Amino acid sequence: MGIILISGSIIPPPEGTDMTTTEGLKAAMHLMEAKHFIMPFLAHALGSLLGAFVAAKLVATHKMKFAIGVGIWFFLGGVSMVFMMPSPLWFTVLDLGVAYIPMAYFGGMLATNNQVKTVQLL
């Protein structure tokens, strides 16, 4: 939530918009550019990453299950936001596809000291 609260000072909202209310956000959505969606995406992705990391660090067993559980919980919140707040289709797909479960998995991997499997291109 902190990232969302400071986002207006980092990336100013469109001129003449009220971003403090749900109604204001809905009315201004057509004025938003891609840059205005960076901070919400970061808030969702970093929230999932950090939440999963902390959950995996706190539990004694089944660390990855708890990390993914946090990701699923955040994902459900993201799905509810899709219904409450209109957003461009590209952002909805990116946000729901990348910001929650994959970031929770990455947070769980970091917490359990497992190496994240990467594909070597060269």
Domain assignment of residue 92, given as a range: 34-111
- Tens digits of residue pLDDT in 45-56: 999 999 999 999
pLDDT at 121: 60
pLDDT digit string (tens) for 63-102?
999 999 999 999 999 999 999 888 899 999 999 999 999 9
Instruction: Note whether residue 116 is domain-resident.
Output: no
CA nearest 110: which of 46, 44, 49? 49
In a domain, 4, yes or no: no
How many Cβ atoms sit within 10 Å of the Cβ of residue 52?
31
In a domain, 7, yes or no: no
pTM exceeds cut of 0.85: no
Contact yes or no for 6/19 (Cβ under 8 A): no
Determine contact, residues 104/74, Cβ cutoff 8 Å.
yes
The residue behind tokens 């990390």 is 67
Domains held by the chain: number = 1
87 part of a folded domain:
yes
* pLDDT exceeds 90 at position 26: no
Alpha-carbon distances, residue 15 vs 22, 26, 37, 86 (angstroms): 17, 15, 16, 19
Tokens of 108: 């769980």
Does some domain include residue 14?
no
Domain presence at residue 68: yes
Here the tokens at position 49 are 């990453």
The pLDDT confidence band at residue 117, using thresholds 50, 70 and 90, is low
Indicate the SS3 state at residue 95: helix
